[in-house]
Amino acid sequence: MRATRTGIYPVLLLIGLVALTLSPALSAASRFSDLEGSPDLRSASALVIGADADVIYGKDIDTVRPIASITKLMSAMVILDAGLDLDEPITVTKADRDLVQLTGSRLEFGATLTRREMILLAIMSSENRAAAALGRTWPGGLEQFVDRMNAGAAKLGMTRTRFADPAGLRVENQSTAHDLGRMVTAAQAYALIREASTTRRLEVRPWPNRGPLNYVNTNRLLKNETWDIALSKTGYINESGRCLVMQATIDGELVSIVLLNSFGKLTPFGDSNRLRKWMQAGR
């Protein structure tokens, strides 16, 4: 997708809103319509959207919850829509420290990567300093960057969503499963986000005279050959529990999955498998 300087608004509004309001009569019917029973999910909120833009499964989809690093999808969309130079080097500074959740980072002060590499690390490995650096180096500064994130959410019709920082470290980054379904649909239009979110491993060289750093994707389902994942993002802080959003092809149909407030490190992945099993059994 070609980045523009007009912001997130026109293309994302078309993709995010129309895809979720499209009449079933005008779209392909989901093969997972009229499923019986319910999967036994541990996530507090869950949503599955099918090819016809209808809800295949929903659980507490309108409750506002902290979303942690799911936030980084909006950060990446704002950067890409702005048309900023993706090859421009960005250097990590003390301003990029996590003073909220006190998480660590292997990107020490002085580490320098391109804006493209920072996006890749922020999405695939949920690197907080990379996301913070992206927001800090926004032409208008961090505050204006967060304003742009919230404006993007509003244009997508994410009426119960609020962003407070680029990395998702503050508990004030909040949304609903319903709103995040819109954001996932919009994010799918970005080739770099799709690439970053499905890259299993990445090597970067932040310093010219030192060895590389190796990063892995936070979504362990990418290692499972039975999953066909087109886009994904995980998130976690204590207040949010484990979170996961994905687009995956199940039995030939691309579906969007949102799982929020899953307590237990493996719960979102277990719930994803339970959802898929339930969908395949009932079609």
pLDDT averaged over the chain? 90
> Are the C-beta atoms of residues 168 and 127 closer than 8 Å to each other?
no
- pLDDT grade, residue 28 (50/70/90)? low
For residue 99, is pLDDT > 60?
Answer: yes
For residue 173, is pLDDT > 50?
Answer: yes
CA distance between the termini of the chain: 34
What DSSP string runs through 178-205?
HHHHHHHHHHTT-HHHHHHHH--EEEE-
Q: What is the arithmetic mean of pLDDT over 163-178?
A: 98
Dihedral of CA atoms 12, 17, 18, 21 in degrees, nearest 10, equals 170
- Residue that is written with structure tokens 């301003």 in the block: 95
Catalytically active residues, by annotation = 69, 72, 126
Give residue-wise pLDDT tens across range 135-168.
Answer: 999 999 999 999 999 999 999 999 999 999 999 9
Q: What is the arithmetic mean of pLDDT over 13-27?
A: 39
For residue 281, is pLDDT > 50?
Answer: yes
- Lowest-pLDDT range, 33-42, 73-82, 113-122? 33-42
Confidence (pLDDT) at 5: 38
- Residue that is written with structure tokens 């936030």 in the block: 71
CA neighbours closer than 13 Å in the CB half-sphere of residue 27: 15
Which is more confidently placed, 129 or 25? 129
What DSSP string runs through 129-162?
HHHHHHHHTSTT-HHHHHHHHHHHHHHTT-TT-B
Where are the chain's structural domains? 9-282
Give residue-wise pLDDT tens across range 179-230.
Answer: 999 999 999 999 999 999 999 999 999 999 999 999 999 999 999 999 999 9
For residue 83, is pLDDT > 50?
Answer: yes
Overall CATH class of domain 9-282: alpha beta
Q: What is the arithmetic mean of pLDDT over 109-134?
A: 98
Q: What is the arithmetic mean of pLDDT over 247-256?
A: 96
Confidence (pLDDT) at 29: 66
What CA–CA distance (Å, rounded) separates 93 from 133? 8
Confidence (pLDDT) at 283: 64
Q: What percent of the chain has a predicted confidence (pLDDT) above 90?
A: 83
- Lowest-pLDDT range, 4-8, 151-155, 171-175, 224-228? 4-8
Query: Rg for the chain (alpha carbons), in Å?
Result: 18
- Lowest-pLDDT range, 20-29, 67-76, 196-205? 20-29
What CA–CA distance (Å, rounded) separates 71 from 78? 11
Query: What's this model's pTM, rounded to 2 decimal places?
Result: 0.90
Q: What is the arithmetic mean of pLDDT over 72-91?
A: 98
Sequence letter at residue 55: V
Ranges of H-type helices in the chain:
9-13, 19-21, 71-81, 115-124, 128-136, 142-155, 177-187, 191-198, 267-282
Confidence (pLDDT) at 282: 80
